[in-house]
Structure 1
Amino acid sequence: MAKVISLKEAANLFQDNITVASASFGLAGWPEEIAIAVSNRFDDTGHPQNITHVHAAGIGNWGKGPKGERGECVWAKDGLLTKFIGSHAGSSPTLINKIVENKIMAWNLPLGTLIQLFHEEGRNAPGLLSKTGLGTFVDPRYDGGKLNPMTKESGEEVVVHIPDFFGEEYLFYKSIPIDIGFMRGTTADENGNITCEKEALNLEMLSIAQAAKANGGIVIVQVESIAKAGSLNPKLVKVPGIYVDYIVVSEDPENIMQTQGTKFNRAFTGEVRIPLEGNLQPIPFDEKKVMLRRLTMEIKPGYKCNFGIGTPTYTGNVMSEEGCADKITMISESGSIGGVPGGGNDFGAHWNIEASCDQGDHFSFFDGGGLDFGVFGLSEVDKDGNVNTSLLNGKIMGVGGFLNIAATAKNAMFIGTFTAGGIKCKVEEGKMIIVKEGKFKKFVKSCPQLTFNADQSLKKGNRILFITERCVIERTTDGMVLVEIAPGIDLQTQILDQMEFAPIIPVGGPKLMDPEIFYPTWGKLKEIMDSK
């Protein structure tokens, strides 16, 4: 039977030299009060020391919000956190600084693969065989996911290349013994059964709990309240009490965030369905909206679609505005299915969500090739159509779920401005006008790291498209082909001169992007989709 303890008692359970695995996504599922108590104990006593923190999704709020930086950053202190293993560190600026300063060993591994690894650890397996990451910076023949010199010089490997396993090559992700499974729920009963009725996401709570117990570790859960034993709906229990050792009841509701930007929204849990008009963040008429419109023209009715973080998240807004949201199923890597994805700091949650599966199970769907249409931010692209999302202009970000999803999506769509760093555009009289060019080229000869291997994607029969405010480029078996150009854009000075390589230009030149998407009112998407 789980024991209810105080924050101070929970902090004392964190001993030196342990590995902690957290089930969180941004601030969703993050037991912030316990994390702060651990940080305060370190300030007072110098313990715990030398913690390894393992988690799949990024944990933090990008250093923004009324309370400042939140999440994993409270552990980013010299001597407290000494190893980071996760898919994304960019949402925790203080942690990034420690990695860049070479004070913390750090590995960047695929989000979905890490969760699948937790599942294998729960079976006491030595690790996970996967094709995810082959030919990217996660591959040990390149960087092995290592983020700084300290990690590279350590000689410690968490991924191994298997050149021939029944005639095929794989990567083997080694098991990481977990001492504490660290998570948050809504309600615990007296037997330790955990429900998550107020959480927007299910995450990988059970997998981490099983991994911790298989290693002889403990599971600590922060909740909002305690219920009488047997009073919870058994179908709502996400972590059975047989896995839970300690429960901490929250003392300050202000520390509980449903997403990075929202405390609680009933439409994110599926408790209610609300009219979307007036609730979805409006998309102003600008270059972003033009790109999103062009993107939606590639979607077919019935597609299962995943929209990544940043500009891609707002694809659902355009679909809803055009009256086409019900023609597809919108999916987020968090396990959310149906409804319309939340944008900005609500990434991962869905308005009027229809189903919510555990995040790890969701990635089995991605890895199995079930996704019809994946939309990703356009960060940096080389001459072969390979993409870098993890190390941009020397800044460490992280791959998140991108590496799993982009590699298997039947249609991999990359959307973003053609250049970066201060670019300014405006759309006037049906034309795209570049007011100020960005400082950095995105289409380069080579990338410092690869998180998407175009050749491997093409071999699977997938389609690859790069959609920008001024042109559309398709990666085909022939190479990078400039297929469309926006009205008002000069081919030589505003496209070719802003690239480090020459794309293939079709005979007769690129086609003109649909001029109608460059006007404030569009209203043609339904007609386009119905014609497919």
Structure 2
Amino acid sequence: MPNKIISAEAAARLVSDGDTITTSGFVGIGVPEALLKALETRFLDSGTPRDLTLIFAAGQGDGKERGLNRLGHKGLLRRVIGGHWGLIPKVAALAVAGDIEGWNLPQGVISHLFRDIAAGKPGTLTHVGLETFVDPRLQGGRVNDISTEEVVRLMDVGGEKVLFYPTRPIQVALLRGSTADPAGNVTMEREALTIDNLAQAMAVKNSGGVVIVQVERIAARGALSPRDVEIPGALVDAVVVASPEDHMQTYATPYNHAFAGEFRVEGDGAGDMPLTARKIIARRAAFELPVGGIVNLGIGMPEGVAAVASEEKLLDHLTLTAEPGVIGGQPASGLDFGAAINTDAIVAQNQQFDLYDGGGLDLAILGMAEVGADGAVNVSRFGPRLAGAGGFINISQNAQAVVFAGTFTSVGLDVGVEDGVLDIRSEGKVAKFLQQVEQVTFSGARAARLGKPVLYVTERCVFSLTPNGVELIEVAPGMDIERDILGHMGFRPILRDPVEMDARIFRPEPMELRVDLLHLDLADRIALDGAARVLFINFGKLSLRSLREVEMIRRRVEEVCGPLGHRVDVIANYDGARIDPEVEDAYGAMVNALEDRFYGRVTRYSGSAFMRMKLGDVFERGRGAHIFESAEEARSFLGNRTQG
């Protein structure tokens, strides 16, 4: 069998003018740095290869010189189809200036395209991207005016609008693994991710192209276990051994055993976050975490939610994921983003997006740069700055619920907390809540039409998406609505009954959020005054989001009332409570059944007119649902009825 080990310089000579190439990597993980350096050097020395087409899914770079930034030279590239551009400013600058053709497509779609190219399919058919800037009815994913090719088409399939992304042959793959043998079999045991390496290798091999893999070490022929081989030698044409500086595990970490999943560790040792705007936002977002659910945390501001979940001892009750293939554990941040410690599994990126696109995420917590009056979010394009969508479109469009997290304004914002009160020391210069966003990365109109629960969490307030637009629902202590919120918005949100954000968010001590989310306090929330024959139900600030929680409440009421042998009157507090639309019917049916079995007269109260209206809809009005504004009115009603 031939020896496939060659030098990086020889590998670079395998790329020809006009080739379509693809590269592996996610931020700084799995990037074939030595191969990219060799390709750059060859071009700068000889002016060739020229006019390459580059196709990549995830962003691969450090925002400076490394990764795909090495290809950011006029003449080297002719066109680029990529998922995330923010970490490759040199390439993005060429696209924005019109020096190359450029398209920004959803990361997950490109990831799936590799599989479909390998399988010889005509293209990828999906709903991902509808009503965003990728939709041909808007911009078709084009970065500039010279990009005229139609890389995505709108189609009608069975009466449903879908998007079709055509496949195309790829001539060269620049990939990365850990260990190879001379026959080209490649393992990835020291990598933090496996990403799309196998699918890319198959796509290029079945296109008649060349597959080149960078590794850090060579094993003897036949020494590798077939169970460990991620890229079979039959798919590999050349192997390059990289120097350690060009084969770091991430751009921030030379090697971490925990990222490779060699063993579990106690924690990341980072300690508790200081009480900054970042932590305030992360804490409020953490209130939405679904116990037992699958969650995606985006890059940037949402990364803090993992740290808060760790502080609050919630990680064992969640499955955190990241789009390149991490399932379980605690995701890393910064230039380590994409890696994680204590993972349950690391799967291929395209398989992760199968899970995401099919609705497998219970919650996504993502960043936001601009929010429009219709709830649209832009994270991808800001004038000459091209960030790109990455996996944002796949994730936000398909998660069961979404929380967008970010500061209320940006550039120069400085906030502090004194005695549990938020203080705006210096207001940000750039407003983020605008009448209309520059580019639609998330369609608020589509989400509202489909009934998706969406929140927009900032350090000073929280908004909710409604069928009629964005509604202000919570305000931080110390904030004046007109001065601190409405005065810095490009539109006026719906205003009904905004409540104060939970005071614990603005205190330095742990919030004991675990008690809330696990409902460990149901025994205190549902208690009987035996002498008065009154059942007190305190759902103040309770978020009811799942059928499991509905069942827990039913069981607690049965536990209290079942042995009594007589009916009880009920006073229920719904101040600050939230009942998600998905469980309203089940909750109402459950309460009605309990009334039939155990209750006499029932009074409910909430200071929110909207909640009172909602309760009236949830419960059968024919039963005489008595819903008051205060506890005093509720108690008074029971007292008057008793006297009568």
TM-score range, shorter chain: over 0.9
Shift of 1:2: 6.2
| Alignment of 1:172 onto 2:181 | no
Aligned-residue offset at 1:393:
4.8
Do 1:287 and 1:432's aligned partners in 2 also have CA atoms closer than 8 Å? no
Moved over 3 A (4+): 458-461
Pick one of 149, 158, 163 that aligns with 1:156.
149
Q: Counterparts in 2 of 1:52-201, with a 5 A limit?
A: 52-63=53-64, 69-151=65-147, 155-162=148-155, 164-201=156-193
Q: Which whole-Å CA distance do the structure 1 matches of 2:250 and 2:36 have between them?
A: 17
2:509 to 496, 521, 532: 521
Task: State the distance in 2 between where 1:328 and 1:390 align.
Answer: 29
2 CA distance for matches of 1:89 and 1:54?
Answer: 12
Q: Displacement of 1:150 after TM fit? A: 2.5
Unaligned 5+ segments in structure 1 are 64-68
Matches within 5 A, 1:447-466: 447-466=437-456
Asked if 1 retains the 8 angstrom alpha-carbon contact of 2:505 and 2:511, the reply is no
What is the TM-score when the length of structure 2 is the normalising length?
0.79
- Given the alignment of the two structures, is residue 274 of structure 1 paired with residue 265 of structure 2, yes or no? yes
Give 1:335-346 correspondences, 5 Å limit.
335-346=325-336
Distance 2:20 2:274 in 1: 45
SS in structure 1 at match of 2:495: coil
Please say if 1:387 is aligned against 2:388. no
1:256 aligns with 2:247: yes
CA distance in 1, matches of 2:150, 2:383: 26
Structure number with greater CO (CA < 8 Å, separation at least 6) is 1
Q: Report 1:414-429 matches (<5 A).
A: 414-429=404-419
Following TM superposition, by how much is the alpha carbon of 1:279 offset from its aligned partner in structure 2, in angstroms?
A: 2.0
* Per-residue Cα deviation, 1:201-222 (whole angstroms, up to 9, x for no partner): 0100111111111111110001
How do 1:265-414 and structure 2 match up within 5 A? 265-276=256-267, 279-280=269-270, 282-414=272-404
Structure 1 residues 281, 191: closer, same or farther in 2, change over 3 A? farther
Which entry has the higher C-alpha Rg, 1 or 2?
2
Does the Cα contact within 8 Å between 2:170 and 2:204 map onto a contact in 1?
yes
- Find the aligned partners of 2:334 and 2:31 in 1 and give their Cα distance: 18
Secondary structure of 1:20 counterpart: strand
What is the DSSP-based 3-state SS (H/G/I as helix, E as strand, rest coil) of the residue aligned with 1:234? coil
| CA distance, structure 2, for counterparts of residue 432 and residue 381 of structure 1 | 22
Partner amino acid, structure 1, of 2:250: T
**Offset at residue 49 of structure 1 (A):** 0.4
Shift of 1:319: 0.6
Cα distance between partner residues in 1 of 2:358 and 2:102: 29
Q: Work out whether residues 290 and 363 of structure 2, in 8 Å CA contact, stay in contact via their aligned partners in 1.
A: no
1:203 aligns with 2:195: yes
Find the counterpart in structure 2 of residue 19 from structure 1.
20
2:45 corresponds to 1:30: no
Q: After TM superposition, give the deviation of residue 394 of structure 1 in Å.
A: 3.9
Answer with 21-30 or 198-207: which moved more.
Answer: 21-30
- Cα deviation for residue 260 of structure 1 reads 2.8
In the TM superposition, what whole-angstrom CA distance separates every residue of 1:161-183 from its partner, at most 9, and x where no partner exists? 11x21211111111121000110
In 2, are the aligned partners of 1:14 and 1:48 still within 8 Å (CA)?
Answer: yes
Q: Contact 1:281/1:343 (CA < 8 Å) preserved in 2?
A: no
SS state of the match for residue 161, structure 2?
strand
Gap regions ≥5 residues in structure 2: 520-548, 550-644
Secondary structure at 1:150's aligned position in 2? coil
- C-alpha deviation, 1:4, in angstroms: 1.3
State the Cα distance separating 1:317 from its structure 2 match.
Answer: 0.8
Partners of 2:383 and 2:425 in 1: CA distance: 23
Q: Does the 8 A contact of 2:172 with 2:204 survive in 1?
A: yes
* Conservation of the 8 A alpha-carbon contact between 1:291 and 1:415: yes
What amino acid sits opposite 1:527 in the alignment?
Answer: V
Count of aligned pairs between the two proteins: 519
Range that drifts further, 422-431 or 193-202: 422-431
SS in 2 for 1:480: strand
Give the match's secondary structure for 2:189: coil
